């Protein structure tokens, strides 16, 4: 019997299992009630008394070794299993959750696209501006009401430094360093000291266009306006120009388009008129050309400016302007774009 136990001890030391099932089979074979070791225990009573001590010790040794070996193998399998279940933190999550473009960006990009098809190129200027570029160079008289504290945010320590109230300041920024031909489109954020409500905000977005060259005429302006309106709102869109006033254009006009919500029949959005105003425009005042270093005898130009929020409202009927800056994902996810 001692020999058999010795042999089993060697066997148990080298036990191997390739799977949890194999390991369970080993456990049953050696350690279960009907296993080899228990059988040996049962035979122990037949061992002659004088050998009982030695055989007993060997038997205990075998049992302990078998338990240790099987427990060790079990631990290996449990570790492997835990490892397999652990998330791999270095792996990218699939599918990657793509965001959507902001509605104002979608519309801004569309406006830029339309004007670039006509040869307009992007231009940019600072949002924190000086009085010269926002007002004086744009032919605002010293006492013009738009300079009033109510409209303009001033930087307290420097009354000459303001947040631009319109993107027309970029006209001046470009003209002071460029000679015609100039054909630019300038999108950007502007600020006005207004109480925030569903229809007004203290910041919003505009796009400015400026074209200065020899022989630029009002009919060029009209053609660009019609092209823009029909590209933006569809080929059936009609435009009309109403005389208006801006310090930097002469003559000046405001452009209406046939209401694209009711198709011109009249609805609450167009207040029953069938028309909605979308932009201001005009021929660049010769004073503005001269103030910005361009010879007004040689060159003429037109300019136009529009609010991106307004165009977006017309396209998507967003009823509350504040939605644009609240970053509510449920609102933002409603907009999809190709670019
Ligand atoms: N700057 C004007 C505004 O903020 C919009 C505008 C009107 C821009 C006429 C122009 C223009 O370039 O010609 O209300």
pLDDT at 146: 72
> What stretches of the chain show up as alpha helix (H) in DSSP?
2-13, 20-31, 36-43, 49-85, 103-116, 131-134, 168-175, 218-233, 286-291, 308-316, 323-326, 329-332
Q: At what angle do helices 103-116 and 218-233 cross, to 10 degrees?
A: 130
Task: State both tokens at 111.
Answer: 């406006």
| Burial per residue of 274-284, b for 16 or more beta-carbon CB atoms within 10 angstroms, e otherwise | bbbbbbbbbbb
The 10s digit of each residue's pLDDT in 297-339 is 999 999 999 999 999 999 888 889 899 999 898 898 888 765 5
Q: At what angle do helices 20-31 and 36-43 cross, to 10 degrees?
A: 10
Q: Is the preceding omega at residue 31 within 30 degrees of 0, hence cis? A: no
Q: Contact at 8 Å (CB) between 165 and 148? A: no
The 10s digit of each residue's pLDDT in 67-95 is 999 898 888 888 888 888 887 788 777 77
Nearest-CA neighbor of 225 among 295, 304, 330? 304
304 CA to centre of ligand 1 in angstroms: 6
Burial of 135 from C-beta contacts in 10 A (0-12 / 13-18 / 19+): buried
- % of the chain exceeding 90 in pLDDT: 55
pLDDT at 91: 77
pLDDT at 303: 98
Q: Is the preceding omega at residue 203 within 30 degrees of 0, hence cis? A: no
Nearest-CA neighbor of 138 among 285, 327, 21, 242? 285
Q: Does the beta carbon of 307 lie inside 6 Å of ligand 1? A: no
Return the residue whose CA atom lies nearest to atom 13 of ligand 1.
Answer: 281
Ligand 1: atom nearest CA of 206 is 4
Nearest-CA neighbor of 205 among 162, 254, 167, 233? 167
60 CA to centre of ligand 1 in angstroms: 99
- % of the chain exceeding 70 in pLDDT: 98
pLDDT at 168: 97
Name every residue whose Cβ is closer than 8 Å to that of residue 242 and which is 6 or more positions away in sequence: 253, 254, 255, 256
172 CA to centre of ligand 1 in angstroms: 13
The 10s digit of each residue's pLDDT in 5-34 is 888 889 888 888 888 888 888 889 988 888
For residue 283, what are the β-bridge partners?
302
What DSSP designation does 136 have?
G
57 CA to centre of ligand 1 in angstroms: 103
How far apart CA 279 and CA 273 sit, in angstroms, is: 17
Residue 149 confidence class, pLDDT cut points 50, 70, 90: low
pLDDT at 83: 81
Q: Does the beta carbon of 164 lie inside 6 Å of ligand 1? A: no
The 10s digit of each residue's pLDDT in 172-207 is 999 999 999 999 999 999 999 999 999 889 999 999
C-alpha angle with apex 140: 164 to 249, nearest 5 degrees?
A: 95
**Which of 44-48, 55-59, 145-149, 157-161 comes out lowest in average pLDDT?**
145-149
**SS3 call for 157:** coil
Ligand 1: atom nearest CA of 208 is 12
133 CA to centre of ligand 1 in angstroms: 14
280 CA to centre of ligand 1 in angstroms: 5
Q: Does the beta carbon of 208 lie inside 6 Å of ligand 1? A: yes
């Amino acid at each position: 019997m001692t020999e058999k136990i010795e042999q089993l001890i060697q066997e148990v030391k080298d036990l191997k299992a390739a799977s949890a099932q194999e390991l369970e089979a080993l456990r049953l074979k050696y350690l279960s009630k009907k296993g080899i070791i228990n059988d040996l225990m049962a035979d122990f009573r037949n061992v002659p008394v004088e050998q009982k001590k030695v055989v007993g010790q060997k038997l205990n040794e075998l049992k302990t070794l078998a338990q240790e070996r099987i427990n060790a193998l079990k631990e290996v399998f449990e570790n492997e299993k835990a490892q397999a279940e652990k998330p791999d933190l270095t792996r990218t999550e699939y599918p990657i959750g793509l965001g959507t473009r902001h509605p104002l960006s979608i519309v801004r990009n569309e406006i830029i696209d339309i004007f670039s098809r006509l040869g307009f190129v992007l231009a940019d200027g600072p949002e924190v501006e000086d009085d010269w570029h926002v007002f004086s160079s744009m032919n605002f008289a010293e006492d013009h009401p738009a300079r009033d504290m109510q409209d303009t945010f001033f930087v307290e320590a420097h009354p000459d430094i303001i947040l631009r109230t319109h993107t027309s300041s970029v006209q001046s920024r470009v003209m002071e360093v460029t000679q015609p031909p100039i054909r630019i489109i300038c999108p950007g954020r502007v600020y006005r000291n207004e109480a925030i409500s569903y229809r007004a905000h203290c910041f919003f977005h505009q796009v400015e266009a400026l074209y200065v060259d020899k022989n630029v005429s009002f009919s060029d302006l009209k053609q660009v306006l019609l092209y823009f309106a029909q590209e933006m709102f569809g080929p059936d869109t009609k435009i009309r120009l109403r005389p208006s006033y801006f310090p930097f254009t002469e003559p000046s006009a405001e452009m209406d388009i046939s209401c694209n919500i009711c198709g011109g029949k009249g609805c609450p959005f167009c207040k029953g008129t069938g028309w909605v105003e979308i932009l201001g425009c005009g021929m660049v005042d010769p004073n503005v050309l001269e103030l910005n270093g361009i010879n007004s005898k040689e060159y003429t130009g037109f300019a136009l400016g529009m609010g991106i929020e307004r165009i977006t409202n017309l396209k998507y009927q967003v009823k509350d302007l504040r939605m644009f800056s609240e970053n509510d994902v449920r609102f933002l996810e409603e907009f999809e774009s190709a670019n």
